[in-house]
Amino acid sequence: MIKKNDHKKAWITMVIAVAVLALVGLLDNLPSTIVPSMLLTVLQKGAIYALVAVSMNLLNGFTGLFSLGQAGFMLLGAYTYAVLTVPVERQASVYQRYKGGGLGFSVTQSLGNSMGQFGLLLGVVACLILAGCVAGLFAWLIGLPVLKLKSDYLAIATLGFAEIIRAVVMYEKLGPVTNGSNLLYGFTSFTDFHLGSLKLTTVMPFLFAGLCILVVVLLINSTYGRAFKAIRDDEVAAEAMGINLAKHKRMSFIISSFFAGISGALLAMFQASVQASAFKAAMTYEILLIVVIGGIGSITGSVIAAFLFVGCSEWWLRFLDNETILGNFGVKVKFAVVFGAVIAAVVAFGMLRMKRKGKKLLTHAVQGQPAVNWRAVLGLAVAAIALVWDIWFVISPNLKLPLLRQGFRMVVFSVVIMIVVLFFREGIMGDREFWDMGRRKRAAAKKAGASE
């Protein structure tokens, strides 16, 4: 019976995957008047960030190893891929500061020339796997000493390692291979893929990231995945079950880094250029943000949060970084009315929820002091201040929107993560998955039926 169920699951997964790929392919080929190019950018980068978030979740959420080296492994993957695939005739201009730099061959170019699109795909897959392997190899090396550390010490050590990798790649003497601190560009990117006249620019990252995420999901549901979770929950008990701690931690670290390496290579393909200075700790921070918002220990959560985060940071919340001066007094009044309405709506929603839960602002105690519901009072105070400011803004003569300027977007993200950590520690999905929500519901229904 279990076997039959598994077959059904595999079919459903396949149908969904094909449907998603077809939809993405359709978006790719619709004219840009219908599909904004920003949407495609978000989809591409979102898929890549989903993969790297899943790889971090495998380590942090499923094995309980708090590591912050993701950007370093992505860097290794990105550079491995880029160095291997810069076309021969462009190597002179790419490596112009280093005479005779470059490898003198390009994997994707030679395969692409001899076998067309299929050769190109083969070359890219080979280079992606190599990129993952290089990251995995370094993970094995660094893991030998570092995995003996626990929790926050491990985080510090891996963070330091990522910084070292970045410095080494930018080292002048390695210039003939890595191009030092200069850009690598011209290598095979997503735009090189097409089926006849059909563009596959967005389909490719979905395909690659989707396959990798599928592998991680299968791993987590295997015996090894259970062993990882056991280590996360209780190291001593896991050891008493016969689980070799050192071996499994190393395995999880290497696999996580392998996929981080692949996602780094995909990011390089997406950007069509790569520079070591971009892979800073800030990048790891972004990924950590995705993992926490999505829910530590949920693959589904990481994927959803990745698209949400990339959408916000690249598209919907871009305006936070631009200084905005309103056109005239009328626009200002409209803005203030909308702002006030949003605040009022939030307050009304909050009040309604409190009423439904039977909570009050002030609870009169039978004896002793009355209890104040501080969270609600604080919320009301913030709303009141916002409304007063709103009125003041309409009266005041200036037309420039306050706060909006370079870097404000990151402030908003940081506030969001603080709110998540303080009030919604579970994130979007907690540690649940999309596919076992139905199962738990069914189990609950069965139980309810049995007790009747």
Partner 1 sequence: MLKIDNLKVSYGGIHALRGISMEVPDGKIVTLIGANGAGKSTTLRTITGLVKADSGSIKWNGNELIGKNIDRIISEGIALSPEGRRVFPDMTVLENLRIGAYLRRDKEEIEKDLDSVYRLFPRLKERSWQLAGTLSGGEQQMLAVGRALMSRPKLMMMDEPSLGLAPLVVQDIFKIIQEINRQGVTILLIEQNANMALKIADLAYVLETGNITLSGTGAELLANEKVKEAYLGKRKD
Tokens 């105690």 appear where?
A: 365
Candidate ranges 96-104, 235-243, 260-268, 384-392; the one touching partner 1 (CB under 8 A): 235-243
Residue 199: other Cβ atoms inside 10 A? 16
Binder to partner 1 among 199, 229, 250, 280 (CB under 8 A)?
Answer: 229
Residue 240 lies near partner 1 (rule: CB under 8 A): yes
Binder to partner 1 among 13, 233, 345, 445 (CB under 8 A)?
Answer: 233
Q: 184 pairs with which residues across the strands?
A: 274
Residue 432 lies near partner 1 (rule: CB under 8 A): no
Minimum separation from the CB atom of position 444 to partner 1 (A): 9
Q: Is residue 376 within 8 Å of residue 350, measured between CB atoms? A: yes
Residue 308 lies near partner 1 (rule: CB under 8 A): no
Residue 89: other Cβ atoms inside 10 A? 10
- Could you tell me which residues come within 8 angstroms of residue 153 by beta carbon, excluding any fewer than 6 positions away? none
Cα–Cα distance between 126 and 121 in angstroms, integer? Answer: 8
The residue among 226 and 280 lying less far from partner 1, judged by its C-beta, is 226
Residue 425 lies near partner 1 (rule: CB under 8 A): no
- x-or-dash string of contact with partner 1, 378-417, rule CB under 8 A: ----------------------------------------
Residue 241 lies near partner 1 (rule: CB under 8 A): yes
Q: Is residue 255 within 8 Å of residue 225, measured between CB atoms? A: no
Minimum separation from the CB atom of position 71 to partner 1 (A): 28
Helix intervals (H) in 170-233: 175-178, 203-220, 223-233
Which of 140, 139, 112, 138 has its CA nearest to residue 125? Answer: 112
The residue among 191 and 244 lying less far from partner 1, judged by its C-beta, is 244
Residue 246 lies near partner 1 (rule: CB under 8 A): no
Cα–Cα distance between 127 and 375 in angstroms, integer? Answer: 53
Minimum separation from the CB atom of position 244 to partner 1 (A): 6
Count of positions on this chain that bind partner 1 (CB under 8 A): 23
Minimum separation from the CB atom of position 214 to partner 1 (A): 21
Q: Is residue 303 within 8 Å of residue 54, measured between CB atoms? A: yes
Binder to partner 1 among 12, 19, 23, 237 (CB under 8 A)?
Answer: 237
Burial label, 109 (beta-carbon count in 10 A; 0-12, 13-18, 19+): buried
Residue 219 lies near partner 1 (rule: CB under 8 A): no
Residue 135: other Cβ atoms inside 10 A? 33
For residue 370, what is the DSSP state?
P
Helix intervals (H) in 272-328: 281-294, 299-311
Residue 238 lies near partner 1 (rule: CB under 8 A): yes
Candidate ranges 23-31, 115-123, 225-233, 375-383; the one touching partner 1 (CB under 8 A): 225-233
Binder to partner 1 among 197, 223, 328, 369 (CB under 8 A)?
Answer: 223
Residue 234 lies near partner 1 (rule: CB under 8 A): yes
Candidate ranges 30-38, 70-78, 335-343, 439-447; the one touching partner 1 (CB under 8 A): 439-447
List phi, psi (to 5°) of 306.
-60, -45
What tokens does 114 get? 């001899």
- Coil, helix or strand at residue 400: strand
The residue among 359 and 439 lying less far from partner 1, judged by its C-beta, is 439
Residue 439 lies near partner 1 (rule: CB under 8 A): yes
Chain residues binding partner 1 by CB under 8 A are 223, 226-227, 229-230, 232-234, 236-244, 297, 431, 439-440, 443, 447
